Structure 1
Amino acid sequence: MLRQYELVDRVLSYDPDADEALLNRAYVFSMQRHGTQKRASGDPYFSHPIEVAGILTDLKLDDETIATAILHDTIEDTLTTREEIEKIFGDNVSRLVDGVTKLSKIEAQTESQRAAENLRKFLLAMSDDIRVLLVKLADRLHNMRTLHFIKNEEKRRRIAKETMDIYAPLAERIGMYEFMREMQTLAFQHLEPEAYASITKRLEQLQGDGGDRIAKIGSGLKLLLSRAGLEVEVSGREKHPYSIWRKMAERHISFEQLSDIMAFRVITEDTDACYRALGIIHQRWPMVPGRFKDFISTPKRNGYKSLHTTIIHAGDTRIEVQIRSKAMHAQAEFGLAAHWAYKQKGQSDGQAGWIRDLLEILETADNAEELLEHTRMAMYQDRIFAFTPKGELYQLPKGATPVDFAYAVHTDLGDQTVGAKVNGRVVPLRTQLQNGDQVQILKSKGQEPQPGWLNYAVTGKARAAIRRYVRQKEREETIALGRKIYDEIALRLPAQLGTEALGNALKRLRIADEATLMESIARQRISDTELMEALMPGSTGGDVAGAHAPAQREAISIKGLTPGVAFNLAECCHPVRGDRIVGLRRPNEGIEVHTIDCETLSDGGADADWIDLAWGGKADSSTARLNIVVKNEPGALAVMAGIFGTHKANILNLRLENRDSSFHSFMVDLEVKDVHHLMRILAALRAADAVSRAERV
């Protein structure tokens, strides 16, 4: 553990103007407050914040950040308050310490909720001052270094998984690659101990067999470049166990088949020398196709710049070479930590776009699981580059679609997306983008986010925005449907309601407002009889629990409501416009719509409240499911498709169910206007010689 004078000397060595008194006060205060507390290793607890501060001195951070590191656990683990910290150390330090402090006393039902609440506070504090993130990463790194002292295996795995999912990607996002690699390696050791032991053992065997192979290759690289007049520094290392394991998993290969396990770093004087070095290396050794990446012309989102290439050395050895200037190397080593004073001297706040994305996700997440899911997505590591028609560059995760691209540009553009052109060609919105694609988003002010986009949107920002809209739309339509049910219930009352009846009912039911009441009615959080009694006491004979309301007078229209939002069309009978329909209303669920003759009603409707429904007016088309058997002969499928085309019915899904020597059986989801449209199509199918049978499912 660093002694007091050693820590202060470290800070003064790179910042002679640092507040020495502040550091001394923080050291003594933290030591006194933690007192006799012990860590799982048996060491004094005070050793942990001092080691965290020591890690941050390697990054040459300012005195306030070092003081924050020393004090970061005092509020959480001692009786110290933020007010005390502010009084003794000032507003900046107290704000930073509060940002790092976890919500240790939060009352949450699940571990994911506690993790989400901690993450929520952390992200908000990080957006205000990035130094919060730097202290937190150093704190997590030291905790990972001592994780093996924790006896509870489940707790070790939980901490390791949280590190792998949240903190290692955060370190990567701000360019602190050494932090990222060490955290990944330590987490991997606890999450996959057998794989870690196996890879580590094989790396040791390789070192024994190869001797000083890395040193020889590095010397050869430096000699080659120096003969060409380039002054460079060359270092080499074997890749980390987690990196090797991930490559093995992604490529489905064994350790023996993994050839590029050595990586070399070439540090040059400037950018021009980087490209000269690349040319010299490629002239000397053949490069592996598809393995060259130019992060100088297109830097990573965290500002990382470097040239990456893989070459075949000595005829059979694949090695990775990273070429960067000294300035780029400093950025790669320290990342955003090199710019900790981003609010000083009138400079911009330096808040990276991905932090803004995280904040937007924070505002739109509905629950703990969503927040954690979307945050992990936002920090996804494997990236591609895509361009707007004006040449603006956006980084997205692999597998991203035009929907993700649109939301990356702007949330409003994502909401209004109707189509996309990729490299000048109109493509489906579910198309996966490739590296270097030019993407033009087609928009319309009348467009709204579609729930189906969730099936292929992969970025946390896009999914959070879509889910936010779907929740809002669902609530609006549920309230509208609840109002229709309310009006129908009001007609059952023995007398017309007065103007104050609704307000009085809200008080009796202890419901905050009218909208919440309508939503509760649609989701059957209150029964019809409870509502009737609240509106007009005594109207059900006083027996609220056992009263049975009279039959409904008219069917409730679902005109203007969206299937899958305010209500769900039952999969068992696939109701089509024109069918007589009935709704099943269960507590806290959306209304499920069935045809009146659906066989499952007799089984599944006993525990539900039945309500009469009607389609009402003109609306969008419906989906019908057909089972069609055609003869096994050339042109039979074309006949079936031709009938659909003649009747202007769109095929939504076509699945081959059964095939034999004589007949083929298909399940077809068909978009039709109404039940009469469907009947005409069925009649045409049955009249065709190529069709053996056509039935509605």
Structure 2
Amino acid sequence: MAEQLKSLMGDEYAEEDAVKVRAQIESELQENKINRDVFGLNPILMSFRTALLELEEIGMKRDCVLSILLYNSVANESLTIEQVEKEYGASIAHIIRGLVRIHELYRKSPVIESENFRNLLLSFAEDMRVVLIMISERVVLMRHIRDTENNEAQQKVAEEASYLYAPLAHKLGLYKLKSELEDLSLKYLEHDAYYMIKEKLNETKRSRDAYIEKFIKPIAEKLDAMGIKSHIKGRTKSIHSIWQKMKKQQCGFEGIYDLFAIRIIIDSPLSEEKMQCWQTYSLITDMYQPNPKRLRDWLSVPKSNGYESLHITVLGPEQKWVEVQIRTERMDEIAEKGLAAHWRYKGIKGDSGIDDWLNNIRAALEAGDSLQLMDQFKMDLYEDEVFVFTPKGDLLKFPKGSTVLDFAYHIHSGVGNKCVGGKINGRNVSFREVLHSGDTIGILTQNNQTPKQEWLNIVQSSRAKSKIRLALKELKVKDGVFAKEMLERKFKNRKIELEESVLYHLISKMGFKETSDFYRQLVDEKIDINDVVDGYIAEKEHGANQKMGAAIRSAEEFVLDKDNNANSFRTKSSDDELVIDRNLKGVDYSLAQCCHPIYGDQIFGFVTVNGGIKIHCQDCPNAPELRKRFGYRIVKARWSGKGTSQYNITLRVVGNDDLGIVNNITSIISKEQKIVMKSINIDSHDGLFSGNLNVLIDDTSKLDALLKKLRTVKGVKSVTRL
């Protein structure tokens, strides 16, 4: 085995390295530090086999080979990484350090079948040679665990090979190793299926080879006659791909007609590629009957990964369907070697960071200049993402720069809202601490914690930002209700009647544009509640004096209108709120017919197309749609002064059809002061009557009193405002 390594390493083989490695291994043997693994395999033999495979299939020489041979010495603490660096160089120490980090990552027992773990593995390795070594190591291990008695460990290793290492090998263009990993994993995970397909393939090999020869011979002759240079080969599908197809099509082995494919590879100049491929296609479809439903034209429109080819299924000799793939030498290299070949030919990189990174690595491997180029592939793969663990081992992905607070909100909004700090790898930290790949994160909470506005500057993820905004909004509402109750209680204790219009004017005068900001400061005790009450009393008295005309209006109530050149003045009020009263002039407004607002209703304004403003109730049936579609045309509005007009509203009354009930209802309305009945419409059916009463009324307080009286009439079931 040592001689094979020497031969494959060529010029990079150094006798000095061989002597030192041999001495190191002999020393460990004498000290009984070489322990067999869970499968009973000798780690020294396994490392030599891994080094041989890596040289044969990948071609990384001195640094990778020595790292593979010396890793066990570092793992069993016979050798330190510092000693490795001193004896063999920084590059080998760097690779072994990466292998140690990866094995530590495994010990966290994460859910490694996730895409996140595959990405973390790549970003954690820092040096791509670490991943290449691990793929080689897994192939060698899979080859030698067939007869183990440790079935549980065998199962775990095979599962990892299937969903972790095979996809990594595929991304790196190591298609031979990828197919072997898939076949071996099937062999251990679905033993019966693997051997059934293998036996079937062996039984049909001779006849399959003869058929392929019979099929391609006349095609080759005609292509030569046309002057098209090519070579043709038959390729049997892997056992794993046959099994996947059987499961997908829900059929037996005999139902898979495309066990092999014929590949025609044309040696064509770039300018004539498409023409010669279509000429070959025409030749084959003239010789054999094509299946039009099975034509795949990736020549005119290549796949996103750069794959170009013509696929056609034809009815060959003995009435058997055969898949034929037509491509050029350039296209075949792209198909065999993946994105890296496409990148070299086209100068086009993959769509994402991982593809760009892997392209460069594959190109470096094939260029044979690995020592210089591989060193630059560090942590640039996932520069915009970090991968961290929960205490239970679940793996989560976050944008780069995310903090412990992002993690808390990812777990649950309740956890985020109460977060006061966290633990990173067992160390207490602030919730502002930035996350790094591989960290294990815990969250510390306190019940008295609440979200703050500045938290929006701490988090990076949009998920956390939206949850914080929602929590702040809910907090505003909660604080508003609490502050309002506190204020009302204070007014009641001082026997003062609270008028909302006066309070809103006071809030505006204090410089608040939003009442929620006023209530929040009240809750936080930044405003003294007694000062608010005193200010309210002064504001109310001032308003009374204005109405009486007994006092001269104070200059404090006016501000200079800077938009006018003349020395004009305007009254202070909220810039974004429309105040509706009888003295309002210069504004074209009207009451909406859909909800018939009256004085005292909670209202808002809606700017119509012609510029006028329609006043709607806050609970108008059309309000949600107006806010959703035309939010920019909504205007805050409120009533001011006292109701001086009468408003037309409709009441819906339902009750038992008893003698005199309608007379009782109309009698109550007629006795009410300042309420005028305009019309009544009654309908009787099955012992019940229902009717619409049209009345003119001053405000909501009189409406509430009327509704209360009507509901006391014997036989009335319900009275509602339409």
Query: Which amino acid in structure 2 is aligned with residue 18 of structure 1?
Result: E
Query: Which amino acid in structure 2 is aligned with residue 89 of structure 1?
Result: Y
In the alignment, the residues of structure 1 paired with residue 55 and residue 223 of structure 2 have an alpha-carbon distance, to the nearest angstrom, of 34
What does residue 96 of structure 1 align with?
A: 95
In the TM superposition, what are the counterparts of 1:515-664 in structure 2 within 5 Å? 525-526=445-446, 565-566=467-468, 647-648=625-626
Query: Which amino acid in structure 2 is aligned with residue 311 of structure 1?
Result: T
Q: 1:143 offset after TM fit, Å?
A: 1.2
What does residue 173 of structure 2 align with?
A: 175
Residue 269 and residue 563 in structure 1: after superposition, are their counterparts in 2 closer, same or farther (change >3 A)?
closer
Residue 251 and residue 147 in structure 1: after superposition, are their counterparts in 2 closer, same or farther (change >3 A)?
same
What does residue 340 of structure 1 align with?
A: 365
Q: Note if contact 1:225-1:232 (Cα within 8 Å) is conserved in structure 2.
A: yes
Query: Which amino acid in structure 1 is aligned with residue 467 of structure 2?
Result: V
Q: Is 2:18 the partner of 1:24?
A: yes
In the alignment, the residues of structure 2 paired with residue 469 and residue 322 of structure 1 have an alpha-carbon distance, to the nearest angstrom, of 54
Q: Is 2:165 the partner of 1:230?
A: no
What does residue 319 of structure 1 align with?
A: 323
In the alignment, the residues of structure 2 paired with residue 647 and residue 192 of structure 1 have an alpha-carbon distance, to the nearest angstrom, of 58
Q: Is 2:328 the partner of 1:329?
A: no
In the alignment, the residues of structure 2 paired with residue 524 and residue 368 of structure 1 have an alpha-carbon distance, to the nearest angstrom, of 13
In the alignment, the residues of structure 1 paired with residue 387 and residue 172 of structure 2 have an alpha-carbon distance, to the nearest angstrom, of 24
Q: Is 2:72 the partner of 1:73?
A: yes
TM-score by length of 2: 0.49
TM-score by length of 1: 0.50
Q: 1:54 offset after TM fit, Å?
A: 1.4
In the alignment, the residues of structure 2 paired with residue 514 and residue 359 of structure 1 have an alpha-carbon distance, to the nearest angstrom, of 22
In the alignment, the residues of structure 2 paired with residue 251 and residue 350 of structure 1 have an alpha-carbon distance, to the nearest angstrom, of 46
Quick check: 255-264 or 172-181, which moved more?
255-264
In the TM superposition, what are the counterparts of 1:87-126 in structure 2 within 5 Å? 87-101=86-100, 104=103, 110-112=109-111, 122-124=121-123, 126=125
User: In structure 2, which of residues 158, 161, 179 is the aligned counterpart of residue 160 of structure 1?
Assistant: 158
What does residue 48 of structure 2 align with?
A: 50
What does residue 420 of structure 1 align with?
A: none
In the alignment, the residues of structure 1 paired with residue 269 and residue 476 of structure 2 have an alpha-carbon distance, to the nearest angstrom, of 65
In the alignment, the residues of structure 2 paired with residue 74 and residue 188 of structure 1 have an alpha-carbon distance, to the nearest angstrom, of 33
Equivalent position SS for 2:181: helix
Query: Which amino acid in structure 1 is aligned with residue 280 of structure 2?
Result: I
Residue 131 and residue 310 in structure 1: after superposition, are their counterparts in 2 closer, same or farther (change >3 A)?
farther
Residue 566 and residue 92 in structure 1: after superposition, are their counterparts in 2 closer, same or farther (change >3 A)?
same
Query: Which amino acid in structure 2 is aligned with residue 282 of structure 1?
Result: Y
In the alignment, the residues of structure 1 paired with residue 37 and residue 475 of structure 2 have an alpha-carbon distance, to the nearest angstrom, of 63
Q: 1:183 offset after TM fit, Å?
A: 0.7
User: In structure 2, which of residues 397, 401, 406 is the aligned counterpart of residue 471 of structure 1?
Assistant: 406
Residue 282 and residue 63 in structure 1: after superposition, are their counterparts in 2 closer, same or farther (change >3 A)?
same
In the alignment, the residues of structure 1 paired with residue 28 and residue 269 of structure 2 have an alpha-carbon distance, to the nearest angstrom, of 49
Q: 1:617 offset after TM fit, Å?
A: 7.2
Per-residue deviation, residues 598-640 of structure 1 (Å, max 9, x unmatched): xxxxxxxxxxxxxxxxx9579xxxxxxxxxxxxxxxxxxxxxx
Residue 218 and residue 124 in structure 1: after superposition, are their counterparts in 2 closer, same or farther (change >3 A)?
same
What does residue 261 of structure 1 align with?
A: 259
What does residue 194 of structure 1 align with?
A: 192
Query: Which amino acid in structure 2 is aligned with residue 307 of structure 1?
Result: S
Per-residue deviation, residues 377-416 of structure 1 (Å, max 9, x unmatched): xxxxxxxxxxxxxxxxxxxxxxxxxxxxxxxxxxxxxxxx
In the alignment, the residues of structure 2 paired with residue 43 and residue 559 of structure 1 have an alpha-carbon distance, to the nearest angstrom, of 58
In the alignment, the residues of structure 2 paired with residue 349 and residue 51 of structure 1 have an alpha-carbon distance, to the nearest angstrom, of 23
Quick check: 270-279 or 240-249, which moved more?
270-279
Q: Is 2:239 the partner of 1:241?
A: yes
Residue 197 and residue 27 in structure 1: after superposition, are their counterparts in 2 closer, same or farther (change >3 A)?
same
Q: Larger Cα Rg: Structure 1 or Structure 2?
A: 2
Query: Which amino acid in structure 2 is aligned with residue 32 of structure 1?
Result: E
Q: 1:8 offset after TM fit, Å?
A: 1.0
Equivalent position SS for 1:259: coil
Q: Note if contact 2:158-2:188 (Cα within 8 Å) is conserved in structure 1.
A: yes
In the alignment, the residues of structure 2 paired with residue 306 and residue 339 of structure 1 have an alpha-carbon distance, to the nearest angstrom, of 23
Structure 2: unaligned runs, 5 residues or longer: 341-360, 421-426, 434-442, 457-463, 483-514, 519-619, 630-634, 636-650, 655-689, 691-722
Q: Note if contact 1:144-1:186 (Cα within 8 Å) is conserved in structure 2.
A: yes
What does residue 500 of structure 1 align with?
A: none
Q: 1:164 offset after TM fit, Å?
A: 1.5
In the alignment, the residues of structure 2 paired with residue 266 and residue 275 of structure 1 have an alpha-carbon distance, to the nearest angstrom, of 14
Per-residue deviation, residues 480-500 of structure 1 (Å, max 9, x unmatched): 9559xx9xxxxxxxxxxxxxx
Q: Note if contact 2:298-2:310 (Cα within 8 Å) is conserved in structure 1.
A: yes
RMSD of aligned alpha carbons: 5.7
In the TM superposition, what are the counterparts of 1:487-506 in structure 2 within 5 Å? none
What does residue 630 of structure 1 align with?
A: none
Q: Note if contact 1:558-1:616 (Cα within 8 Å) is conserved in structure 2.
A: no
Q: 1:295 offset after TM fit, Å?
A: 7.8
Residue 186 and residue 94 in structure 1: after superposition, are their counterparts in 2 closer, same or farther (change >3 A)?
same
Residue 229 and residue 192 in structure 1: after superposition, are their counterparts in 2 closer, same or farther (change >3 A)?
same
In the alignment, the residues of structure 1 paired with residue 255 and residue 628 of structure 2 have an alpha-carbon distance, to the nearest angstrom, of 49
Q: 1:242 offset after TM fit, Å?
A: 1.5
In the TM superposition, what are the counterparts of 1:133-532 in structure 2 within 5 Å? 133-207=131-205, 210=208, 212-270=210-268, 272=270, 275=274, 278-283=277-282, 284-285=284-285, 286=290, 289=293, 292=296, 294=298, 298=302, 306-307=308-309, 309-314=311-316, 316-321=320-325, 323-325=327-329, 329=333, 332=336, 336-337=361-362, 339-340=364-365, 356-358=380-382, 360-361=384-385, 363-365=386-388, 367=390, 471=406, 474=409, 525-526=445-446
Q: 1:567 offset after TM fit, Å?
A: 9.8
Q: 1:352 offset after TM fit, Å?
A: 9.1
Equivalent position SS for 1:79: coil
In the alignment, the residues of structure 2 paired with residue 372 and residue 472 of structure 1 have an alpha-carbon distance, to the nearest angstrom, of 11
Query: Which amino acid in structure 2 is aligned with residue 339 of structure 1?
Result: A
Residue 65 and residue 217 in structure 1: after superposition, are their counterparts in 2 closer, same or farther (change >3 A)?
farther
Structure 1: unaligned runs, 5 residues or longer: 375-462, 487-509, 517-522, 532-554, 583-614, 619-641, 652-672, 674-682, 690-697
Query: Which amino acid in structure 2 is aligned with residue 236 of structure 1?
Result: G
Equivalent position SS for 2:261: strand
Equivalent position SS for 1:323: strand
Q: Note if contact 2:8-2:55 (Cα within 8 Å) is conserved in structure 1.
A: yes
Residue 294 and residue 512 in structure 1: after superposition, are their counterparts in 2 closer, same or farther (change >3 A)?
closer
In the alignment, the residues of structure 1 paired with residue 396 and residue 280 of structure 2 have an alpha-carbon distance, to the nearest angstrom, of 42
In the alignment, the residues of structure 2 paired with residue 368 and residue 318 of structure 1 have an alpha-carbon distance, to the nearest angstrom, of 54
Query: Which amino acid in structure 2 is aligned with residue 65 of structure 1?
Result: C
What does residue 662 of structure 1 align with?
A: none
What does residue 62 of structure 1 align with?
A: 61
Per-residue deviation, residues 316-371 of structure 1 (Å, max 9, x unmatched): 41315263417953983596556228795999779899x8554544x244549998
In the alignment, the residues of structure 2 paired with residue 560 and residue 91 of structure 1 have an alpha-carbon distance, to the nearest angstrom, of 43
What does residue 390 of structure 1 align with?
A: none
Equivalent position SS for 1:235: strand
In the alignment, the residues of structure 1 paired with residue 86 and residue 371 of structure 2 have an alpha-carbon distance, to the nearest angstrom, of 27
Query: Which amino acid in structure 2 is aligned with residue 340 of structure 1?
Result: L
Q: Note if contact 2:170-2:178 (Cα within 8 Å) is conserved in structure 1.
A: yes
Query: Which amino acid in structure 2 is aligned with residue 182 of structure 1?
Result: E
Query: Which amino acid in structure 1 is aligned with residue 323 of structure 2?
Result: I
Q: 1:205 offset after TM fit, Å?
A: 4.4
